[in-house]
Chain A
Amino acid sequence: MRRSSLMVAVLLLALLAGSLSAAAQGSLAIVFDVGGRGDLSFNDMGALGGDRAQRELGVTVREVESATTADFLPNLRALARTRQYDLIAGIGFLLQDAMAQVAAEFPNQKFAIMDGLVEGLPNVMSVSFADHEGSALMGALAATTALELGADTVGIVLGIEIPILLRFEIGYRAGVKWAVDRWNEMHGTNESVKVLHVYTGAFDDPARGKTAAEAMLGQGAVVIYQVAGATGLGVFEAVEEFARAQGKEVGPPFAIGVDSAQDYIAPGFIPVSMMKRIDTGVFTAISRALDGTFEGGATLLTLAEGGVSASTLEDNIEMMNAAIEAGTLTEAERDELLAGIQRAREAVPASAWEALYTLDHLIRTGEFVVPQALDAETAEFYREILQ
């Protein structure tokens, strides 16, 4: 008797569980930017978001790569036409035009674009990330590192002077200012840290990034944050060459990466990167599409919501494993890169890490609000007051 009732209970539970998981099931399609899986950047992070949705929500995921930018439109259309997906996510702003068109053609299909903006369509969620908050963390680490090393200069090399990049620069300055104030309060000193900034005018010109970084190093910058796409690769090169010329295998000087965990690019010289969490973006979008809270329009994922973060060693490992899965990296290469990343992280003064994580906490709790600048005038205003 007891046994049979137990069995009934188990059966009921199983049924319940079955119906619960069935309710949670859904399907997600991800359209990657050109370059596809294995780019150790946005595409791989988007794929990680899909993996997480599969794991935690039981969602089935279909990944579609694009050979050229001309494939975006037909790829999105073909997916929308199947009417099988609860959400179609596009990775990267290059898909903007195509998504705007397809979303208008299929008003009942939900879309999400990562790090891009599709305006005026209720079925597209445009996910952007609080770059200013993440950049402030980088500023705190950079300034404290400089003070700890007895230096007084840090730098930031940027791409073209567009509004979104002003947000990075002012956020970085705010982090520097916060860290310097904190340092002076703790040590009873009156130190200051100068922030050098250069807009190189290009996102694809490593030579310009290198020239800009070399000039900053010549003026005594010990940490340089790059926000310049491929131009920033020149920043990494300049920092590494500068250090190696002095016989160093590891920084200082240091460079800071952006968008994804770029720490592996110059192992030993990039202790941290400001990550835009495309994975969180994809996961958030599919979750909202499934639980009915999906809303079109611009959505800013803050630091507190996991939209940006300082890269950790685990982030690097996770991403490299994704690259191994995609066949672009071997395990031996991964271990060697990780050793270099570890060396760079250890070379940064502990107090600098402490400053970064303290500021991270303050931003999360809302105790510190990072100023935003999206036009030249506001940026100039903050440059003045953040001296």
Chain B
Amino acid sequence: MSQLPAEPAARPKQKAAGAGHMLRGALASLVQVVLAAGIGLAIGAIMMNATGYDWKEAYHALWIGSFGDRWGLFDTLADATPLILTGLTFGLCFRAGYFNIGAQGQMIIGALVAVAVGSSLGGVPTLVAVPLVVLAAGIAGAIWSMPAALLKVTRGVHEVISTIMFNWIAIYLSGYLVFNVMNDPRSAERTVRVAENVRMSALLPGADATSALFISVFIAVFFYWLLYHSPWGYEMRVAGFSHDALRYAGANPMWAVNVTFLLAGLASGIAGATQIIGRPPTYALYGDLSNLGNFGFDGIAVALIGRSHPLGTILAAVFFGALSTGARMMQIIAGVPLDMIRVVHGVVIVALAAPELWSILRRSISRRVASRTAPAASGPAAGKGAQQ
């Protein structure tokens, strides 16, 4: 199966591409990224200048804080750890043609299960306990993403609606569970802490990254293999192009939907676990979910910047982590307030995600045009399938 075209969906022109063409493509997208980042940073600099902050000092601080020393680097990797996973959630579904906005909810459920399992495994050897927690959280996330897939397959409910709804259910459920069931009587604002033997150790003393990073990278590589080197991944990608094509090839598109959502939910569930057992110092879930941040939604931007490619997602997550870690030094050294920093980051992120957003737009327009110009060839049944 590996001799099949690498990009059947996006670029039909590349069908006959050799290694040289692929290299040129990679170079072109690298140029594109650098250009986009440059434009974003330039706009950010203009904005900081206009509001009275020293942009040179600010960007210097951004660099110092994110990659400038080993602590900055490892804090960057700590923020990248959950972002890789939530980015994979969106990216995988996107490759298969779905907009899964449910990473946040799946991550919350994963975190809840990580607390429940992690707090009851005291005394169990770490090498057994940690995989158990991670697996349980992943399965919980996968289960949480199933209703969206089933609603899609059986009722044609759009996944954007259902995944957003399930985010809200997860948020309110977590509020109930944190304050009423898993509450730490001495600290009303959070759950009990997980047992010490499941807390992952720091890779570098004085920085936040833990061995949870390896779990994220491992899953990203696994998704890469799955998507590009396995027959199932091929079906997923074809499903993303056209359900009719998949059906024509003798495969069941519904199966592809379910598997894609399951794996996507698995990744975000594990993202929740990494924030509970793999991020010092609290090892518990706050009732306001403040230690999960917005990693679920940020994953969408991460996936877009990473061109929805699992390995690109790793790079994008590290970049994203660098921005949030660099924000620290932008405040401390350059005195730029966090709100301003967020605006600048937003501009950079939009600039980086723009090429991918544009290609999504172009693809959906061309698909709509294609289905309009050739209605007889596809037939009414196919038209219905394409709309799903």
**A→B interface (CB under 8 Å):** 29, 34, 36-37, 62-65, 67-71, 73-75, 77-79, 81-82, 94, 97-98, 100-101, 105, 159-160, 162, 202-205, 327
When chains A and B are docked, how far (Å) is the Cα of A201 from the Cα of B179?
A: 9
Whether the Cβ atoms of B332 and A78 lie closer than 8 Å is yes
Known: A62-B331, A64-B331, A97-B281. 10 other contacts (CB 8 A): A64-B332, A65-B331, A65-B337, A68-B293, A69-B291, A78-B71, A81-B206, A159-B188, A203-B179, A204-B175
When chains A and B are docked, how far (Å) is the Cα of A54 from the Cα of B368?
A: 63
When chains A and B are docked, how far (Å) is the Cα of A92 from the Cα of B379?
A: 64
Of the candidates B186, B280, B332, which one forms a contact with A101 in the assembled complex, judged by CB atoms under 8 Å apart? Answer: B280
Question: Is B235 located at the chain interface by the 8 A CB criterion?
Answer: no
Q: A97-B282, A162-B188 are in contact. Are A70 and B275 (CB under 8 A)?
A: yes
Which residues in A have their C-beta under 8 angstroms from that of B337? 37, 63, 65
Whether the Cβ atoms of A203 and B329 lie closer than 8 Å is no
- How many chain B residues touch A (CB < 8 A): the figure is 38
Whether the Cβ atoms of B281 and A74 lie closer than 8 Å is no
CB nearest to B329 among chain A residues: A78
Which residues in A have their C-beta under 8 angstroms from that of B335? 62
When chains A and B are docked, how far (Å) is the Cα of A327 from the Cα of B214?
A: 42
When chains A and B are docked, how far (Å) is the Cα of A175 from the Cα of B282?
A: 38
Per-residue interface assignment for chain B, residues 156 to 179, with 1 indicating a CB less than 8 Å from any chain A CB and 0 otherwise: 000000000000000000010001
Q: A67-B338, A162-B188, A204-B287 are in contact. Are A74 and B325 (CB under 8 A)?
A: yes
Nearest CB of B to A314, in Å: 26
Whether the Cβ atoms of B328 and A64 lie closer than 8 Å is yes
When chains A and B are docked, how far (Å) is the Cα of A101 from the Cα of B205?
A: 11
Q: Which of B281, B335, B338 has the most CB of A within 10 A?
A: B281
Which residues in B have their C-beta under 8 angstroms from that of A73? 208, 280-281
CB nearest to A99 among chain B residues: B281
When chains A and B are docked, how far (Å) is the Cα of A145 from the Cα of B308?
A: 65
When chains A and B are docked, how far (Å) is the Cα of A327 from the Cα of B337?
A: 12
Per-residue interface assignment for chain B, residues 318 to 341, with 1 indicating a CB less than 8 Å from any chain A CB and 0 otherwise: 000000110111011001011100
Which residues in B have their C-beta under 8 angstroms from that of A94? 189, 286, 290
Which residues in A have their C-beta under 8 angstroms from that of B7? none
Which residues in B have their C-beta under 8 angstroms from that of A37? 337
Question: Is B309 located at the chain interface by the 8 A CB criterion?
Answer: no
Question: Is B54 located at the chain interface by the 8 A CB criterion?
Answer: no
Question: Is B244 located at the chain interface by the 8 A CB criterion?
Answer: no
Per-residue interface assignment for chain B, residues 101 to 124, with 1 indicating a CB less than 8 Å from any chain A CB and 0 otherwise: 000000000000000000000000
21 residue pairs A–B, Cβ–Cβ below 8 Å: A34-B288, A36-B338, A63-B337, A64-B328, A64-B332, A65-B338, A67-B324, A69-B290, A70-B208, A70-B279, A70-B293, A71-B328, A74-B75, A78-B328, A78-B329, A79-B332, A94-B290, A97-B282, A203-B179, A203-B189, A204-B287
